[in-house]
Chain A
Amino acid sequence: MSSIVLEARDVRYRYPRGREAITGISFHVRRGEKIALVGPNGAGKSTLLQMFNGMIRPDSGIMLFDNEEIRYDTRSLRQVRRRVGFLLQNPDRQIIAPTVYQDVAFGPVNLGYDEAAVKEAVAVALRQVGLEGFERRPPHQLSGGEKKRVAIAGVLAMDPDVLVFDEPTTGLDPSGSEDLMELLDELNHDSKTIIISTHDVELAYPWADRVILLADGRIIREDVPDVAFGNPVYVRMAHLSVPTLLELSVELEKRGFTIPDRKPRSVLDMVHIIEQHHHGSCGHPLPGTITVCNVDEGDTGTLAAWVKARKVAVGAMGTRAKQCAATESIPLEFTYGVIDKCILRALRGQDSLILTTERMVDRVAVRVDAYCKESSTTISMARLNMTEEAKKHDPSC
C-alpha cells in the first residue's frame, strides 16, 4: 500500500507572459492515500493539479507516475490520463455530451472499448455515483450536485487509479458537499488514491490522510492534518484559518485537559476528551446498541416498519444505502460521519441503525471496535437481516 504512485521533483512552471505559478515543488503521493492540497486562491493549486495528468507540462523538473517519468507524446499522455482521472471545478466545463449516458461513455468509447464493455462501464460508474436511471437525461436539467456526480462517473468509467479533484465542493450546498465527501471516502475504500484541492480547512482537516499547505507556488508544509494545521505560523502564511476542532483542543489543553498525541479530528474524539476529564460521568451508564443492516442482502421492504416499531435513529452510509432509504421512505437522521454519530448516540444510551452496503459493513465494526478499545467502553453491535427477521416472525416459513 505504501508504494509511490505520483511524484514531483523540483517542478517549476511559469505562465506565458506571467509570473511563476509553481516555484520548485517536490513531493510524492502514495497509493491509496487521501491528500488535500490546501492553499489560498492563486496559490497554484489548480496549476499543480493539472500537472498530474499532463495537462500542463512543467518548465523544469520532472513528474513521475508509477515511478516512471511522464512523457508528453500523445500515446504516453493518453495512458497517463486514463489512469489519472481529473475533475474540473465546474462540472459544466467537464460534461461534453448531450445526455448523461453519452457523457459517461465518452472516455470508454475513446479508449476503444467495444459496445458491450462501454455499456458495462457506464452502468457500473453510474451505479457507483448513484445515478442509475439518469441515462437519457440532458445535463442542463440536472442540479449542481447531480452534474458533479455525472462528471465523476465520466472519470470513473475509465477506471483510473488516481482521482484528482479541483475544488470538489464549490457550488454545492452543505449537504451536497457532505454527500460528495462521503462518496470520495467510498471511492478511496475501493483502493483509489484521491487528491483534492480546497481552501476549506474544516473539510480537509477530518478527511485527509496528509495535507499539503501551498502558498505562492511553494509548499509550506506537508504533514498529517493536525500537524500541518496545528502550527499557526504556517496557517497564517497560507492565508488559512485553524480548524475549529484543533483550536478548541489547544484551548482545552491550556485549561488542563489531557489531549492525546493524536489530536481530535471529529466531534466524537472531542467528546471523548471532555468525558475523560469528567471521569466518564457525562456518559450514559448503559450504552445503546448499533444495528447494521446490509441493504444488498435480504428484502428491505419491511425495513420501514422495523424502524418505526423500534423508534431508532437511522443513518445511511454510501450511495446505495441512501437510495434504499429513499425508496423505502425511511427518514434518515445521519447521512455523513454516520458511524461517529451513531457511537455518540450509543454513548447517550440510545439505539441506532446503520444502513450500508456489503463492503462497508466491516468498516463499521472496525471503527466501533477501535473506539471501544480506545475508550474502554463496550457498545454492542448487531447485524440485521430482513429475510431472517421475517422468518422469525412468521413460523410458517
Chain B
Amino acid sequence: MFEELLEDVAQNNGLREVNTTVKLAAGLGAIILCLLSTGYLAPLFIALVLSGAVLLLARVDVKTYAELFLVPLWFALLSAIVIVLISGGEHVYWIWDPLPFLSLSITRESINTGFFILCRVIGGMSALLFIALTTPMTDLFAVMRKCRVPDFVIDLAMIIYRTIFILMDQVRQIYHAQVMRLGYSTWRESITTFASMCGAAFIASWDEGDDLIRAMDARCYDGKFALLGESRPAGFRSGASLCLFLIAGSAAVYASQGVTLL
C-alpha cells in the first residue's frame, strides 16, 4: 500500500523540462497511428520507440515500467485468447464443439486478428504510459486552459489534485497508526479497521475543506486561480525528434499495411 505514485515518477522524469505540447503530440499521435495501422508491425514499432524513450530519455526505472506495463498486458492477453477462440475462419487448425450453440476454434484468421489486436493494445498502452510518465498533471492544467476547458473545471481539478496528496498523507498516517496497534491482524479485524480509517479520512477531509476556505479567504480569494503557463519553448531537438517519430511511425503504418503473422 502507498508505494510511489505514477505522478511522483512523472514529476522527476528526465523529459520533465520538455515542452508539454511536444510530449502530448507524440503520445496522441502514436495512439492515432496505432488505430490507423492495419498490420501488426507498426504498433510494435511505436511501442518499441516510446518504451525506449521512457526508459532511456525519461530514465524511468525498468522495474517500475515493467510492473506498469504487465498489469494491463495480462488483460489484453486474455482478451486476445478469447478472440482467437471465438472468431472463426477458413484455415482451421483445431475445433471443438462442447455445446450445440458454442463452437471454439483456432484458425489462421483468428490467430492473425488476435495477435494484431494484442499488438495494437501494446502500442496504445506504451503511448498512454509515455504521456503519464513524462507529463505530470501540473503541466496538463495549462494545456487544459489552452483547450478552452471552462475555468471552474480547471480550478476544481487543481484543488482536487492538491487535496488528494494531503488526504493520501493523512490516510497513510492513520493506516500506519492502525498497523502499529495491530489493526489488520485478522480478516474480520481488517474490515473494521478499514472502515474506521475511511471514517477518520472523511472527517479529516471535511476539516480540510473548512481550512481550505479559510486559507483562501485569508489570501483575498476573489474567484481567480493562477496558472503556470508553458514557458519552455518547443526547441529544435524535441521538435525534430517528434517530427521524425511521427514520420517514421506513418511510414511503418504505410509499409506494414495488411501484414499478418501467419
Show the binding face of A for B, using Cβ within 8 Å: 53, 55, 78, 81-82, 86, 88, 92-99, 101-102, 105-112, 118, 135-141, 154-155, 158
Contacts and interface: CB of A to CB of B under 8 A. Distances in A.
Task: Among B136, B166, B224, B226, find the residue whose CB has the most chain A CB atoms closer than 10 A.
Answer: B226
A82 B220 contact: yes
Nearest to A140: B165
A92 B164 CA distance: 12
A135 B218 contact: no
Contacts of A53: 218
A78 B220 CA distance: 5
Question: Which of B11, B215, B218 has the largest count of A CB atoms less than 10 A from its CB?
Answer: B218
B220 A111 contact: yes
A124 to B, nearest CB: 15
Contact of B225 (A97, A138, A158): A97
B11 A98 contact: no
Contacts of A81: 217-220
B162 interface: yes
B67 interface: no
Contacts, number: 95
A97 B166 CA distance: 12
Contact of A55 (B165, B218, B225): B218
A109 B162 contact: no
Contact of A98 (B8, B162, B216, B221): B162
Contacts of B97: none
A155 B219 contact: yes
Given A82-B220, A94-B215, A139-B162, A109 B138 contact: no
Contact of B221 (A88, A110, A112): A110
B172 to A, nearest CB: 11
A99 B11 CA distance: 11
Nearest to A112: B222
Contacts of A154: 219
Given A92-B166, A95-B162, A98-B138, A107 B225 contact: no
Given A101-B226, A101-B228, A102-B228, A138 B219 contact: no
B217 A109 contact: no
16 contacts: A86-B218, A93-B215, A95-B162, A96-B215, A98-B141, A98-B158, A98-B162, A101-B228, A102-B158, A102-B226, A106-B216, A109-B225, A110-B220, A136-B16, A136-B228, A138-B136
